[in-house]
Structure 1
Amino acid sequence: MSSDLVWVIGFKEEAGFLVERTFLDGDPRKIEYVDTTLDMGDNPTFKTGLMYAGREVKPEHIPTKMMWSSKKHRPYDVFMLRGLILVSQEFKDIIERFEPDTHQFFPIEVVFKDGSHARLMYFFNICARVDTMSRAHTTAKMLHGISWDFSSGEFVFSKDLIGGRKVWIDKHVIHGLFFSNDIKDEIEKEKLTGPVFNGFPVL
C-alpha cells in the first residue's frame, strides 16, 4: 500500500520510444465545455480546446478513431495524444468502481496502420474541479490568485478539502490531475501500462 499521499499522474513510453499515433477523425482543438461559468484558477473561462479544467465537455469534435503504428508495442493502458488522456477498459473500470457516474469516458477505436483493430480506448475527462491545497502547510506561493508556483515551495494537500474524492483537478495547479492512494494502488496492482505517479503529502 502507498503511504498517505496524493498522486499526480504522468505518462511513460513503455516501448522506450514514441510510438507514432494520430487521430483519424475529430478535432481536440474544437472540444467545448458544457459549463463555461467563470471560475478563477487554471483556464478560468474554460476556453475551447484546453482540456482538463475539471468540467464536463460536449461530445462534438471528440475523436472516435485513431491509428497506432506498432504491432510489437501495442497501445498502453494509459497514454496521451494531443492533450487528451486515453485509457483502457481496465483503467476505466477502476475509476468507475470508486467513483461511478462521475467522470466522462468517450470510446475511441484504435487501429493499426493496416486498419486492423488494435484496442478499444477511452478519452478520459476528469469532472471534478476543486481547490485542495492546504493553506496552512503549503509553502509554495500563489501567483495572481490563479495558480501555485511549484518552484517556490512545497505542495501539501488538505484531507478536509479533498473529502472523499478519488480523482480530481486542482483548479489552482496547472496540469494538476490528481489521484487518491487507493486508485493509484489499484492501477499498480493491475499492472496497467503507461502511467507514472509522483506523490505529494496530505494533512
Structure 2
Amino acid sequence: MEDRTPDGGTNLAAQGEFNSGRRVKSESVPKIIRWNTKRKLLDYEETFCRTVSARFRELIEEIEPGVHQFEPVQFIDKDGSDLATRWFWQVCNRIDIGDRELTNFDMSKPGWMRPLLGEARLVLDEKKLAMLSFGMTNI
C-alpha cells in the first residue's frame, strides 16, 4: 500500500493489499495479463485482481470522481497478440458501518469474525447506513 497509517478501521491488509480499500503502489500492479480463454472480456473481470474496461471506468469516475485508483494493464491473447488495454481497479473506500457497542466481534485482530463471547452478533449502525445512502462516504 502507498500509506499504511492506521485510520481507526480494522484488518487494513488482512485480506490482501488489493482488498484493503487503500491505494497500492503502482509498481505492484500487473502491467500485462495473459487471457488464456476464448471467452470475450467483460466490462468487469476479476482474476487475481479487478480489471475494468474504459467504459466501466468512466461510469465509476462519474459516480465517484477521483476516489478510486486506476492503472493501465494490457491484456494479451495466449499467442501474445494484444486483446485490449484495460484498467486495474483498486477500490479506495474504507467504510465502517458496524455498531461497536452492540457487535460482539473482536475487531482488533485479523480474523475478527470470531465473537468475543457467546453467539456471534454483528450489528450495523443505522445512522452510518443512512449517511452512506446519502452519499456521505467519510464515515
Q: TM-score, normalised by structure 1?
A: 0.52
Pick from 36, 40, 45 the counterpart of residue 4 of structure 2.
36
Q: Give CA deviations for 1:78-131 in whole Å, capped at 9, x if unaligned.
A: 12222x211111211110011111111111110101112212221111112121
Give the Cα–Cα distance (whole angstroms) in 1 for the partners of residues 36 and 120 of structure 2: 41
- 2:120 and 2:46 mapped to 1: Cα distance? 28
Q: What is the aligned counterpart of 1:93 among 53, 58, 74?
A: 58
Of 9, 17, 34, 1:67 maps to 34
Report % sequence identity.
28
Describe the shift of the 1:70–1:121 C-alpha distance in structure 2 as closer, same or farther (beyond 3 A): same
Letter in 1 for 2:35: W
The residue aligned with 2:80 is 115
Instruction: Give the unaligned 5+ runs of structure 1.
Output: 1-32, 171-203
1:143 is matched with 105
Match of 1:58 in 2: 25
Whichever residue aligns with residue 122 of structure 1, its letter is W
Higher RCO, Cα 8 Å, sep 6+: 1
Q: How far off is 1:38 after superposition?
A: 2.1
Aligned partner of residue 17 in structure 2, secondary structure:
coil
Residue in 1 that maps onto 2:97: 132
Equivalent position amino acid for 1:58 in 2: K
Tell whether the 8 Å contact from 2:75 to 2:86 is kept in structure 1 after alignment: yes
Asked which structure has the greater CA Rg, the reply is 2
Please give the secondary structure, in 2, of the residue aligned with 1:74: coil
Q: Which runs of 5+ in 2 are unaligned?
A: none
Which structure shows the higher strand fraction?
A: 1
8 Å contact 2:105–2:122 — kept in the other structure? no
Superposed CA RMSD in Å reads 3.1
Distance 2:136 2:50 in 1: 19
Q: Flag as ranges the 4+ runs of structure 1 deviating above 3 A.
A: 39-42, 146-149, 151-157
How big is each residue's C-alpha offset from its partner over 1:159-182, in whole Å with a ceiling of 9 and x where there is no partner?
A: 12554158x9x9xxxxxxxxxxxx
Match of 2:135 among 139, 143, 164: 164
Q: Determine the C-alpha separation between the residues in 2 that align with 1:165 and 1:119.
A: 35
Return closer, same or farther for 1:155/1:90 CA change in 2, 3 Å cut-off: farther
Residues 107/163 of structure 1: CA separation in 2 closer, same or farther (3 Å cut): same
